């Protein structure tokens, strides 16, 4: 999933008219129903605690996710996954090494090549976030290269 998120975000940020996404990932029960089409109308149904948790995470003001960010909610991850994220093998993994724990989340730094860039990126991101979104797009594009 992390590989897909990285691919999609790099494509979007380097598009002719770049745009930023937010991504909140929750672990748990999820159900998707592909319902039938009827005269140009298509209905799909999504439900489950993971869907609700991810949706609410993106909407709550106190810890609102910022443009370009992707994060995994730690709540609901279960001890076996939390243990994997903390291993030396995870630090060597192409995508797991880009996860950085902060509070109740693991932030995924999809725009970076390796974990050594995370501290600098966070500092620059916060400085540019205080100004304008155009600065964020430029930072994300430059970090992907």
Q: What is the pLDDT of residue 6?
A: 92
pLDDT over 90 at 108, yes or no: yes
Tell me the percentage of the chain whose pLDDT exceeds 70: 72
The mean pLDDT value for 2-6 works out to: 91
User: Would you list the domain boundaries of the chain?
Assistant: 2-144
Confidence of residue 70 (pLDDT cuts 50, 70, 90): very high
The mean pLDDT value for 34-52 works out to: 68
Tell me the C-alpha distance between 75 and 86, whole Å: 16
Task: Report the number of secondary-structure helices (H) and strands (E) in the chain.
Answer: 6, 6
Whether the predicted model's global pTM rises above the 0.85 cut: no
Residues recorded for the chain: 145
Tell me the C-alpha distance between 44 and 49, whole Å: 17
The mean pLDDT value for 50-72 works out to: 80
Average pLDDT value over all residues in the chain:
80
Tell me the C-alpha distance between 18 and 6, whole Å: 15
């Amino acid at each position: 999933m992390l590989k897909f998120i990285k691919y999609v975000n790099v494509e979007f940020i380097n598009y002719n008219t770049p745009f930023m996404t937010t991504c909140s990932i929750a672990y748990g029960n999820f159900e998707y129903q592909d319902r039938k089409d009827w005269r140009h109308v298509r209905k799909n149904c999504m439900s489950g605690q993971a869907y609700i948790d991810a949706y609410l995470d993106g909407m709550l003001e106190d810890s609102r996710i910022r443009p370009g960010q992707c994060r995994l909610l730690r709540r609901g991850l279960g001890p076996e996954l939390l243990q994997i994220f903390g291993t030396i093998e995870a630090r060597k993994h192409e995508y797991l090494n880009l996860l950085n724990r902060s509070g109740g989340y693991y932030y995924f730094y999809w725009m970076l090549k390796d974990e050594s860039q995370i501290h600098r990126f966070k500092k620059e991101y916060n400085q540019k976030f205080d100004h304008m979104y155009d600065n964020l797009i430029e930072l994300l594009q430059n970090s992907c290269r």
